[in-house]
Copies of this chain bind each other. A is one copy, B any other.
Amino acid sequence: MPAPADIEALIALMARLPGLGPRSARRAVLHLLKKRNLLLLPLADAMRDLAETARECVVCGNLGTADLCPVCADERRRNGQICVVEDVEDLWAMERSGAFRGRYHVLGGTLSALDGVGPEDLRIPRLEERIAEEGATEVILALGATVNGQMTAHYIADRLAGAGVQVTTLAQGVPMGGELDHLDEGTIGTALRARRAI
């Protein structure tokens, strides 16, 4: 190995990040070592600080640095709508769209018989508590259009049937900028069945 063990160890850690392979991790570490004061030290400090302060929001499961995440801490977002997402990255994606003004509920995954993930593993009981506590009027299921995502959506819809809350789900169809000949048959079929008058 041309680099000493300490540097190789950092490369190995970096290579475990999603999106970085062994080669790009090596390049990233070299870049860090060249930009010691500008990048390496600030990054090390930011990581160490967040390792101590980052925690899950006690209400919705979003990641933040306080008991309440920025969304749950904002009283204006208590509008009766709860958007259920699989994971924190989905919550962030919804927020980037700027289209939703209510609160979230992070499940922490999807139901999966194969992986032995049941409703108790997914903060579904906590969702029922929140609906009652917050007097929610609508639960929007923003789960992935995957087999497990849709199975989980149907399970939650069934379970909330008697909870006196409207349960909706994201529309499926042609994505913005989508060209028909690049779309899969399933998407086109769904979009056709859900066609609407213009």
Chain A interface (Cβ < 8 Å from any Cβ of B): 1-4, 6-7, 9-10, 13-14, 16-20, 24, 26-28, 30-33, 36, 39-51, 53-54, 62-66, 69-71, 88-89, 91-92, 94-96
Chain B nearest CB: distance from A142 CB in Å? 13
Copy tally for this chain in the complex stands at 2
Q: Contacts A4-B70, A44-B51 given: A30-B88 contact, CB under 8 Å? A: yes
Instruction: List residues of chain B with CB within 8 A of the CB of A63.
Output: 3, 7, 30, 33
* CA distance in complex: A24, B4 (Å): 28
Instruction: List residues of chain B with CB within 8 A of the CB of A69.
Output: 2, 4
Which DSSP category, helix, strand, loop or mixed, fits chain A's interface? helix
Q: State whether B26 touches A89 (Cβ < 8 A).
A: yes
From the candidates B18, B32, B47, B50, name the one contacting A27 in the complex (CB within 8 A): B18
Chain B nearest CB: distance from A183 CB in Å? 22
Instruction: List residues of chain B with CB within 8 A of the CB of A70.
Output: 1-4
Instruction: List residues of chain B with CB within 8 A of the CB of A17.
Output: 28, 31-32, 39
Q: Contacts A32-B17, A89-B26 given: A49-B2 contact, CB under 8 Å? A: no
* CA distance in complex: A10, B66 (Å): 16
Q: State whether B64 touches A39 (Cβ < 8 A).
A: no
* CA distance in complex: A20, B24 (Å): 9
Q: State whether B91 touches A2 (Cβ < 8 A).
A: yes
Instruction: List residues of chain B with CB within 8 A of the CB of A19.
Output: 19-20, 24, 27-28
Instruction: List residues of chain B with CB within 8 A of the CB of A89.
Output: 26-27, 30
Instruction: List residues of chain B with CB within 8 A of the CB of A42.
Output: 13
Chain B nearest CB: distance from A33 CB in Å? 5
Q: 10 other contacts beyond A2-B70, A32-B50, A48-B48, with CB at 8 A cut-off?
A: A3-B63, A10-B47, A10-B50, A17-B28, A17-B31, A19-B19, A19-B20, A33-B54, A36-B51, A47-B47
Q: Contacts A19-B28, A28-B19, A70-B1 given: A9-B40 contact, CB under 8 Å? A: no
